[in-house]
Chains A and B, each alone.
Chain A
Amino acid sequence: MSLKSFVKDDLWRVNYIYPFAKKHLADEKGRFDLARHILGAYKNIHRVKGEKPRSVGGDIKALLEQVEVDIPEGGFVYFIDEHRTVALPGNVFNNMTVDYEKLLVQGFHERLGDAAGDDEYGRQIGLVAEGLGNLAGRIVAALKESKHPDKEKRIAEFENMLDGPAKGFEEALQRTMFFNQVMWQTRHRLNGFGHMDWFLDPYYQKDMASGKITEADVDRMLDDFYRKLSQYSYYKADALVGDIGQIIVLGGLKEDGTYFCSKLTEQIMRAQARARVPDPKTILRVSAKMPEGLMEAAVECLESATGSPMFANDDVIVPLLRDFGYEKEDAYNYCVSACWEPFVVGKSFEQNNMATYDFSAAFDRLMGDLDGIRSFEDMVERYITLNDEVFRDFLENIREWKWARDPFVSFLTDGCNDQRKDVSEGGAKYNSYGVTTVALANVVDSLLNIRRLVFEEKKYTLQQLAETRKKDFEGEESLLRFCRENRHFGRDDREALDLVDRITKKQAEVAMQFKNKFGGTVKFGLSSPGYNAACKKMPGDFSGRKAGDPYNTHISCTAAGYTEVVNFSGQLDYGCQRFNGNVVDFFVSPDFLKQNRDKFVMFMMLAIRQGFFEMQMNVMDSRTLIDAKAHPERYPGLIVRVWGMSAYFNELPESYQDLLIERAVAAERTK
């Protein structure tokens, strides 16, 4: 075991501030600043320890008993005590959504009846239950003392919090928020909300039909929901400020093949647009079967420029999940991890964003191992062989990750209660890992450009190119320009498509052989938050990238128009475990969207049929971004899409700002 993984896995009890300081690793302000933040976090955040002998359940119980209760002036009760946390042994299950629905249809205690027992498993969840009971009780007491205008209603909801099913829409929403708060408080990161319009719809329909609530009431509640959930962003943020992961999944195909959405779906999307916050965020599951009116509402929401919704194409994703082996019902019910990786809520221990694989690493080795390469074919073969090796090593590093026990999540995950086995020990129904990848576009462009320069036009030898790369293209500006002007990935380029499929297919064979310690395997996809991080230490390549420049963003091509990139993405093969998030990423100028809304809706509906996997958009023009960089004070609310997250432009590190500007300029040029 490497020292790094030892520190990561086993020193969590000491290293409990890591999640709170992690964002500063990426903020490019240097080590001194990072150290300052780490010290600040230690000063600010106290770990709460349970009674001896220590256990995760005991620590959580103590934490929930000690967190400070904070009753708002009105609306839903939602708070996080930012100064208290638990220090757990091992990695905490994160980047996922807990199954809130189970806690709505049945009270926590009712469910506990099925799961309680004298064994360690039962004891742990029993301890969590005591903590929850204490917290809910203290909230009731505080409400009684408070001037909250709806306190009777809130008190009733909290008195019923653990006992019976939720009695209506408002209570269901309050309960979802409460357990979300508990997830955050107990150190889980990147907590999604799951399929909210689906699991809240029965309550919504019933209360609407009976006249208990109106659309205006729901708007008010959702506005409050967004307001409250967007607080504590400093505490919640992960790798960058704004990387919070409270994703709400909307719409989608049901198991009977029909598309399901409701008035609530649209109301949530409108609330998202009104809130103008980067997080919570929404992803809309789309299908050729969806009503066009819903797509219109989605495009309207896009115009509010929060980066939401992003789109996941059920017509492509559901069959892939079925092929992988998810049961039919589970495949149709998929949600996503914090960004975009398909995730089955309430049934899986799938850690889908464990690490970022860099396709450039093998390219880097290739450039130092050119002997005997006589043809393009030789070169591709060598790259693929090297890539297999690098990928195998990479997977070895994640195989042994150690997970902290997680009684609360286990309690809500199918398989655990029956087997009396914690999720961290493989108790869930599905147990695969997932990784994201970067730089495949750069590698493919490089290989195809080398082919032309070396094997077709014979302008350079391979060695000469390797030397040029070492010198970071010094004195070779025209070569760099050639590379920048000859892009292949993301275009109508059969050879690029074939090369992508060839490389990923071989890599998928390695992935399929991988088994983690729970018997699961590993999935990967072609989109990753890491495109602007992993690149920093990597020399340039022949996609026109100089040393340290960002890699290509997800599935995009600055030289290609929308239809071209969608066609490209629709023809890629995502089968054999290659479905861990594959996102087409666009810039669209706000004016363009406003002036062409009808045709944009048409474009989206037709794009679904072309088979894109997922899609996200930055609705932003370059002028605004350039101005915002120069005058941040004028743009306090400017939100941009960064990876699977949206963030305030002003809070981004400079290299991210520059990359966004560059891509916006390129998008306006191709349009």
Chain B
Amino acid sequence: MEPGGKAFENSVLLTNIQRFSLHDGPGIRTTVFLKGCSLRCPWCSNPENLSGVPQAYTKDGLDGVYGEYMAQDALAEVCLRDKGFYGEKNGSWDIKNAGEISSLPGGVTFSGGECLLQMDRLVPVCETLHRNGVHIAAETCLFVQPSALGLAIKYIDFFYADVKILDETRCREEEKGDLKLYLSNLGMLLDSGRPVAIRIPVIGGYTDGAGDRRAARDLMEKYKRKILKIELVKGHNLGEEKYRSLGMPVPRYMDVDDRQMENYREELSGLHIPVEICRI
């Protein structure tokens, strides 16, 4: 049976469900890593989540498969197991400033890969979670069809949206992405009024140049009233083993030191959006 065929209609392709996740949104969360991505960032640390089909791998002499089709109701059931640890918040989740993030409850975060590629299949999961009062976040690169984003805006309560290479040609060549689609999606998301935090991976040779930083700054300037906060994220090589297990070459890129990260933060400070530096 081909993926996408009938048997897979009510299921979601994922590689991992991480409980007690503390870095993927407010509170204590369960993070679901969905398999399949629309981009190919050269620094990606999740090679197992790029291809949209299950993949065989070999690690320490043992064979395995990345990716599992999980039925929607089964996924919702796992996500609800830690409901007792998500906590509650009375009142609206549509917060307007960064200071309120910590008042939001924990919940479920869809990550990836690009989780919105499977947004239509996530809808029933989201409905079950919302019926149970669970807060939902998503981490997205926004290189997706506007219809998928539209659905997401309807069902997702909090977004982490990436800002990566902002030069049209380099975006196409290095990330295999369509910048126009991205920019229009970013506008659509921010105009929707949903809470959005921006994540900027700062990667030596790709997104850390003066031009990259200026472009990011200008983009942030345009939407500054609609952005809760910006996170500057340093690259890391935690994905190395997974690249090897898939027989893929391990990506190399230059390190960005703490001072450069601080400078970047400085440059963004005039926007009056809170900026955090995140190290993994």
Taking Cβ atoms with an 8 Å cutoff, the residues of A that contact B are 492, 561-564, 566-567, 570, 596, 598-599, 602-603, 606-607, 609-610, 671
Contact = CB atoms under 8 A, between A and B. Distances in A.
Interface in B83-139: 84-85, 87, 102, 106
A567 B28 CA distance: 14
Given A596-B22, A598-B102, A599-B22, A567 B84 contact: yes
A570 B19 CA distance: 17
B19 A563 contact: yes
A567 B22 contact: no
A561 B84 contact: no
Contact of A602 (B19, B27, B81, B82): B27
A563 B20 contact: yes
A564 B19 contact: yes
B100 to A, nearest CB: 15
Nearest to A600: B22
12 contacts: A561-B20, A563-B19, A563-B81, A564-B19, A564-B81, A567-B81, A567-B82, A567-B84, A570-B84, A602-B28, A603-B85, A607-B85
Given A561-B19, A599-B22, A606 B85 contact: yes
Interface string B12-43: 00000001101000011000000000000000
A199 B117 CA distance: 62
A561 B28 CA distance: 13
A562 B20 contact: yes
Contacts of A602: 27-28, 87, 106
B102 A492 contact: no
A563 B102 contact: no
B241 to A, nearest CB: 13
Contacts of B102: 598
For the residues of B in contact with A, the DSSP-based class is loop
Interface of B: 19-20, 22, 27-28, 81-82, 84-85, 87, 102, 106
A474 B84 CA distance: 44
B22 A610 contact: no
Contacts of A492: 81
B84 A606 contact: yes
B180 to A, nearest CB: 39
Contacts of A567: 81-82, 84
Nearest to B18: A561
- Kindly list the 10 A-B residue pairs having the minimum CB-CB distance in the complex, ordered from nearest: A563-B82, A561-B20, A606-B85, A610-B84, A599-B22, A563-B20, A596-B22, A561-B19, A562-B20, A563-B85
Contacts of B85: 563, 566, 603, 606-607, 610
B109 to A, nearest CB: 14
Nearest to A595: B22
A561 B78 CA distance: 14
Given A563-B82, A563-B85, A567-B84, A606 B28 contact: yes
A599 B25 CA distance: 11
Contacts of B28: 563, 599, 602-603, 606
A265 B22 CA distance: 29
Given A492-B81, A567-B82, A599-B27, 8 more contacts: A561-B19, A562-B20, A563-B81, A563-B82, A567-B81, A602-B28, A603-B20, A606-B84
For the residues of A in contact with B, the DSSP-based class is helix
B182 to A, nearest CB: 32
A609 B85 CA distance: 9
Contacts of A609: 84
Contacts of B27: 599, 602
Contacts of A564: 19, 81
Contacts of A671: 20
A133 to B, nearest CB: 56
Nearest to B88: A606
A561 B22 CA distance: 13
Contacts of A599: 22, 27-28
Contact of B87 (A562, A563, A570, A606): A606
B29 to A, nearest CB: 10
**Most A-side CB within 10 Å, residue of B22, B27, B81:** B22
Nearest to A562: B20
Contacts of B87: 602, 606
A599 B87 CA distance: 11
A405 B54 CA distance: 72
A419 B52 CA distance: 79
A204 B19 CA distance: 44
Nearest to B30: A563
A599 B82 CA distance: 15
A562 B82 CA distance: 10
A121 to B, nearest CB: 52
A598 to B, nearest CB: 7
A54 B272 CA distance: 84
A671 B19 CA distance: 9
Contacts of A570: 84
**Most B-side CB within 10 Å, residue of A570, A599, A610:** A599
A595 to B, nearest CB: 9
Contacts of A596: 22
A563 B79 CA distance: 12
A288 to B, nearest CB: 11
A327 B141 CA distance: 61
A610 B19 CA distance: 16
Contacts of B82: 563, 567
Nearest to B27: A602
B65 to A, nearest CB: 16
A467 B106 CA distance: 49
A492 B82 CA distance: 10
Contacts of A566: 85
Contacts of B20: 561-563, 603, 671
Nearest to B87: A606
A650 B126 CA distance: 51
Contacts of B81: 492, 563-564, 567
B102 to A, nearest CB: 7
A596 B28 CA distance: 11
A570 B27 CA distance: 21
Contacts of A603: 20, 28, 85
A610 B85 CA distance: 8
Contacts of B22: 596, 599
A137 B133 CA distance: 68
A218 to B, nearest CB: 33
A492 B106 CA distance: 20
B25 to A, nearest CB: 11
Contacts of A563: 19-20, 28, 81-82, 85
A651 B27 CA distance: 39
A292 to B, nearest CB: 12
A463 to B, nearest CB: 30
Contacts of B19: 561, 563-564
**Most A-side CB within 10 Å, residue of B27, B82, B87:** B82
A586 to B, nearest CB: 11
Contacts of A561: 19-20
A562 B22 CA distance: 12
A606 B85 CA distance: 5
A590 B66 CA distance: 32
A185 to B, nearest CB: 47
A596 B21 CA distance: 11
A400 B20 CA distance: 48
A295 B22 CA distance: 18
A566 B81 CA distance: 11
A570 B81 CA distance: 13
A349 to B, nearest CB: 39
A284 B50 CA distance: 47
A126 B132 CA distance: 66
B147 to A, nearest CB: 35
A566 B85 CA distance: 10
A124 B250 CA distance: 80
A566 B28 CA distance: 14
B80 to A, nearest CB: 11
Nearest to A492: B81
B233 to A, nearest CB: 15
A66 to B, nearest CB: 57
